[in-house]
Amino acid sequence: MSTAIEIPYNSTERPDTGLYNAKLGVWLFLASEVMLFGALFSTYVLLRTGADTWEHGAEFLNVPLATINTMVLIFSSVTMVMSWASLKMKNFGKYKLYMGLTFLCGVAFLVIKSFEYAAKFEHHLLPSTSTFMALYFTMTGLHGLHVIGGMIVNGYLWGPGSKMWQTDPERFTNRVEVAGLYWHFVDLVWIFLFPTLYLLPGK
């Protein structure tokens, strides 16, 4: 059995859909992620409206740190899309720079997050403390796992995966674009998560 299969539309777009395979694939995946985080947000809505009282996140969550984290993620989205743009302009050096920055931003986000979590545990604020804290840890925790996942992909594309630039530059550029779409989505979720958990008034 030879390994001579070539799946069409990995690098080029299919004329009638205008898409290459991985782009459709990642958008489908993101659609499922929207449903996942949507379910968590609807849990927030349901539990909050059913409660007599609800915590004001800003009172004991670290808003300054989370604001910094928001900026970090937004910045990383810019560097991510710049890394793809660099490949489109055939500048592999710039790609490495921007992708590296994106990865470091991810590290920064997780480090700041771990400070936050540590502070919570020190003050005996655990998931079991209240439904608000349960939601806080579950939503930010799941989001954090997604950040880690994205970093693994980005790290691979920065490191060993970048070899594909030599053999199939179009396909590699597409891979970076697709990884970028995922990364932007992770940023997008945080854009909604941050005000919901940290900023909304209590009741």
95-114 positions binding other proteins, by CB under 8 A: none
Is residue 3 within the footprint of other proteins (CB under 8 A)? yes
Is residue 20 within the footprint of other proteins (CB under 8 A)? yes
Go through 18-47 and write b for each residue having 16 or more CB atoms within 10 A of its CB, e for each that does not: eebbbbeebeeebeebeeebeebbeebeee
Is residue 185 within the footprint of other proteins (CB under 8 A)? yes
Q: Which stretch binds other proteins (CB under 8 A): 108-116, 149-157, 159-167, 173-181?
A: 173-181
The binder of other proteins chosen from 55, 61, 82, 151 (CB under 8 A)? 82
Is residue 170 within the footprint of other proteins (CB under 8 A)? yes
Residue 159: CB partners within 8 Å, gap ≥ 6? none
Tokens in use for 10? Answer: 């990995």
Is residue 62 within the footprint of other proteins (CB under 8 A)? no
Alpha helix stretches (DSSP H) within 53-168? 63-88, 92-122, 131-158, 164-167
Q: Which stretch binds other proteins (CB under 8 A): 82-90, 103-111, 114-122, 155-163?
A: 82-90
